Structure 1
């Protein structure tokens, strides 16, 4: 396992505006320093409440970002809690209206697997595997993938849906120019391949919300979800990312963005790789299908679990599409550990989630039904086995599935 503290330190070094907060000992979270997010309708009231410390206000579509002056040294977690409760009196939120505001710190989100207590696992080069063969479909189905982007790959590079977005969403493989593949570069391309192995006829819509180091933030995810809501054509959304929040509650801003997609869109998210039962968001949200990872018929040792997990699928030694990249490490035992030629093997709940998303999309396409109806069938506990703390077991579902 990679050293946990060393990983955190590398993230903080690369993201100097980030900080670790730990209001409850042993339950840390990462946030953007001196930032709070506010629902658009509450932006003016929140700005008034924090006017003594507010440096700038940036309005987005349905959310505003307030930047606080670093010299004020405001505890943004305490501030968010007080504004949410409509707190008055002492403290940074003095003067806030009694009506609670919709406020959250800007949490960092991260792709899985490489994070706190995640598996000591990097992608490994794999031999080519056959391209998924599209079966007859009764309707078009679109799966949106919010991740690190999408690089060209023989499985889909000639598809019209890829050509329409190829330049916008291309993965950044070595952002720090150190010669190594960034820690989670290729994550989105890998996830896309898992979806296609379960839903070969699906159209994919990629939105880049994570850097190649696997790190993004809540605001970026909200922006992407708002774009999807306006677009209105996503049947399934896959989020192989997430975070712990400072108060172990769902972010109200992210909750609103998920709800804005509407009931016809199914949102699937990975349960995270901290090997515990602490809620991981957005997977733990009620409208979201939270997916844990299996290793054969048992929980993968790294996978989160708990009452909030809805489903589980194979998440170890998954093989899928990947990027082309030859890093500096020398060959060992006859194999080059960082010479990737379009295929890789990887483990994590990140790769169990798109298996479930793909199964839902594949069933919707094959039978011409809505994604919500397909999800009800794939996740029906009466028709499928379940495991305690892991939810419904979603099996391979055909020759295109990962084994």
Structure 2
């Protein structure tokens, strides 16, 4: 286990505009200091209401970020609650700008660090199975995407913009950043379930695993406006200051439309406290299993919809050699394109990939595919964990034994 307080201190040191808030005792959240997010159509009214403390406003993608003057020392949580309930004519869609963290990174219960693994064979559609009946696109909101032999020569990878490339050592300490490679790992998990899928990377968190709500909203707006995705995988999230969904983020999810399926990890704090966006009603929240039981670190609760293997998952990774010395002849931080990792982050893309693979194979839309993958009548259901979703490998093994 890591020293959780030390990890939180490092996050705060690296992001000096972040602060821990705890309006609900024992239920902390992280927010950007002196920032309020407001739905675009509410920005004018909100600016008028906060004019006593107002410093600057920036509008983008249907959302406005209001910056408040630091000397005013405004409690952004109280202010957001006030804007939601005390608008001049109606409640406004407002929220503090919560920090979002990739999982397994969370101060109250991360899973583990990635470990080097032996090469894995690239996934291929089984020859006995019918060819994909439709193209399927999966958007991955994460740390970005590094080149890898599994997909480096595909058309969809060559179309990726340079700004979505993974940053491996942002602090220049010659070690891999805590969650660098997270997005590349998730891409491999998706492709293992849906080899024909086209992936679209959107970098919303850094290699330290930290981003914010506005970064996620921007990415969702790009997906909604510039190119529809069948499935969106979000292996990150946050607790909110009031344990309710951010109305600004909820609007961005809704803007994707009813034909897009959003899958998000349930988080790694071993709690039933709602984790967002996984706990939103339109989103499929995914917990992690260790064999047939809940992984010790996995969140759980009424708001979780599905679960999949999330311990010692093997997938694609970056290439990097850190500074740690060899131990009994083994280099513990020499990565050569493959790794094993644990967390709800890696259970979520199993579900996202299964939905994408089913949509492609059956020639149906992603919503119909999700209904089939998560059908409680034909799949095992666990209390507070939802429908058990087996990986393509496990399903193939069952077929071969039948």
Q: Which residue of 2 aligns with 1:20?
A: 20
Q: CA deviation at 1:25?
A: 1.1
Q: Which runs of 4+ in 1 moved over 3 A?
A: 398-403
Distance 1:149 1:119 in 2: 21
Q: Which residue of 1 aligns with 2:343?
A: 348
Q: Which residue of 2 aligns with 1:93?
A: none
Q: CA deviation at 1:117?
A: 2.7
How many equivalent residue pairs?
Answer: 394
Q: Is the 8 A contact 2:37 2:63 kept in 1?
A: yes
Pick one of 132, 135, 157 that aligns with 1:162.
Answer: 157
Q: Secondary structure at the match of 2:335?
A: strand
Q: Report the aligned-residue RMSD.
A: 1.4
Distance 1:402 1:162, change over 3 A: farther
Distance 1:131 1:146 in 2: 22
Give the alignment of 1:148-187 within 5 angstroms.
148-165=143-160, 167-187=162-182
Q: Is the 8 A contact 1:318 1:346 kept in 2?
A: yes
Distance 1:121 1:401, change over 3 A: farther
Q: Which residue of 2 aligns with 1:221?
A: 216
Residues 212-256 of structure 1 show CA distances to partners (whole Å, capped at 9, x for unaligned) of 000000000000000000124200000000000000000000100
Q: Which residue of 2 aligns with 1:52?
A: 52
Q: TM-score if structure 2 supplies the norm length?
A: 0.96
Give the alignment of 1:115-264 within 5 angstroms.
115-135=106-126, 136-165=131-160, 167-264=162-259
Give the gaps of 5 or more residues in structure 2.
none
Q: CA deviation at 1:402?
A: 11
Q: Secondary structure at the match of 2:268?
A: coil
Distance 1:120 1:374 in 2: 30
Residues 235-287 of structure 1 show CA distances to partners (whole Å, capped at 9, x for unaligned) of 00000000000000000001000000001100000000000100000000000
Distance 1:400 1:113 in 2: 26
Q: CA deviation at 1:333?
A: 1.8
Distance 1:391 1:398 in 2: 20
Distance 1:118 1:177 in 2: 26
Give the gaps of 5 or more residues in structure 1.
87-95
Q: TM-score if structure 1 supplies the norm length?
A: 0.96
Distance 1:402 1:342, change over 3 A: farther
Residues 27-81 of structure 1 show CA distances to partners (whole Å, capped at 9, x for unaligned) of 0000000000001111011001010100001011200000000000000000000
